[in-house]
Amino acid sequence: MPSRSFPRFKELVSSDRQSIERLTAAFPPYSDYTFASLLSWNTGSAVEWSVLRDNLAVRFNGYVPDQLPFYSLLGTTEVDAAVAELLALGAGADGDSALRLVPAVVVEQINDRGRYRIEEDPDHHDYVFRTSDLVDCAGAGFAAKRKRVNRFLRSHGRATHVATLDLADHQTARDMVAVFAAWEQSRSLEREHTGDELDAIQRLLRSAPDLDLIGVGVFVEGGLKAFSILEVSGDFGVAHFEKADVSYVGIFPFLKQQVATKLRELGCEFVNYEQDLGLPGLRREKRSWRPALYLKKYVVSPAPAF
């Protein structure tokens, strides 16, 4: 693969799916590395990739405002050499000299640990939940969730139905953008702060015919009021985007319950709801759903010289 062999990197495009998934298939579905996630967030040609010693190397353009571009790695082949080569490339580039979003499965393969500073990065750990927990919402730990779901059903249950969405349908896409706008308004958010996420959603919808995505929608009185966009990877579902018109109180927990129901029907034991990015409100919300486990990620940088 001369055009995408290290140290050359190429922009990620839809036709790269098979090559990327060959490199990621053996590993848990870390949210940053699923093909749907890579493609959707490739706004402004922000994602580039390469093959480094039969591992996937990725150049990200930053996940948060003002973040420098950085490199990351997924794979378990000759990891010490791959890390050293990627760090050397980063040190010579106009970006971050550390490797970020490095999955635990990679870090576990680093033998020469004295050469590196390896730091856990909890802001980017993926939250993984058992679908059965989200469906059943059993026990005292889920009492608040049951209460909100029941409130939604008391107010809107007779007018509500849940359906699988055709993500390639143009009217469905327009309806989802309308839900996104209602969510923005309810959170008093400006498009300048949410535009990248909307671009990522629209990019994913445009690529839906080429991807194995699932759309789950909650309709009230015939209108779409909440949606989730997911993919299935083995016994995991990965929830990439969820939005709802929260003027319908309790609709978010109801949506999560319905998503988990759909995934359990498809044989998924777990659902990955991705990271919290260190945002306090998002962290509280995700932890309140009682995660079963985390897919951990790390920052790897050269050890300081003494």
Average pLDDT for 29-56? 92
* Cβ(58)–Cβ(49) below 8 Å: yes
Q: Say what the pLDDT of residue 1 is.
A: 43
The reported pLDDT for the residue numbered 43 is: 75
| Residue 288 domain flag | no
Does residue 283 form part of some domain? Answer: no
Query: Quick one: pLDDT at residue 63?
Result: 63
On whether residue 183 sits in a domain, the answer given is: yes
The reported pLDDT for the residue numbered 217 is 98
pLDDT class for 35, splitting at 50, 70, 90? very high
| pLDDT of 167 | 97
Three-state SS string over 196-232 comes to HHHHHHHHHHHCHHHCCEEEEEEEECCEEEEEEEEEE
Is residue 88 located within the same domain as residue 135?
no
Number of domains the chain contains: 2
- For 132-163, write each residue's pLDDT tens digit: 999 999 999 999 999 999 999 999 999 999 99
36 within domain boundaries: yes
**Residue 12: what pLDDT?**
93
Query: Per-residue pLDDT averaged across 28-36, rounded?
Result: 96
When the pLDDT of each residue in the chain is averaged and rounded to a whole number, the result is 93
CA distance 123 to 125: 6
**Residues 110, 202: one domain?**
no
| 183 token code pair | 């969510």
- 150 in the same domain as 121: no
**171-222 tens-digit pLDDT:** 999 999 999 999 999 888 888 888 989 999 999 999 999 898 999 999 999 9
Interacting residues of 188 by C-beta distance below 8 A, sequence separation 6+: none
In a domain, 217, yes or no: yes
Together in a domain, 143 and 238: yes
CATH number of the CATH domain containing 151 = 3.40.630.30
Q: Are residues 112 and 137 in the same domain?
A: no
- 104 vs 212, which has greater pLDDT? 104
Query: What is the C-alpha separation between 289 and 186, in angstroms, rounded?
Result: 22
Q: For residue 247, which phi and psi values (nearest 5 degrees)?
A: -65, -20
pLDDT at 2 over 50: no
pTM value is 0.94
Position 229 in a domain? yes
Same domain for 64 and 9, yes or no, is yes
- 106: three-class secondary structure by DSSP: helix
Long-range contacts of 263-269 (CB under 8 A, 24+ apart): 263/131, 263/230, 263/232, 263/237, 264/131, 264/132, 264/135, 266/214, 266/232, 266/237, 267/235, 268/131, 268/232, 268/235, 268/236, 268/237, 269/130, 269/131, 269/132, 269/235, 269/236
Question: Which position has the token pair 């948060």?
Answer: 64
Same domain, residue pair 12 and 120: yes
The pLDDT score that the predictor gives to residue 175 is: 98
Cβ of 81: how many Cβ atoms within 10 Å? 13
Tell me the H-state helices in the chain: 17-24, 35-40, 79-91, 104-107, 131-136, 143-156, 170-186, 191-206, 251-265, 280-288
Could you read off the pLDDT of 225-253 as tens digits, one per residue? Answer: 999 999 999 899 999 999 999 999 999 99
In this structure, are residues 125 and 294 in contact, taking their beta carbons and an 8 Å threshold? yes
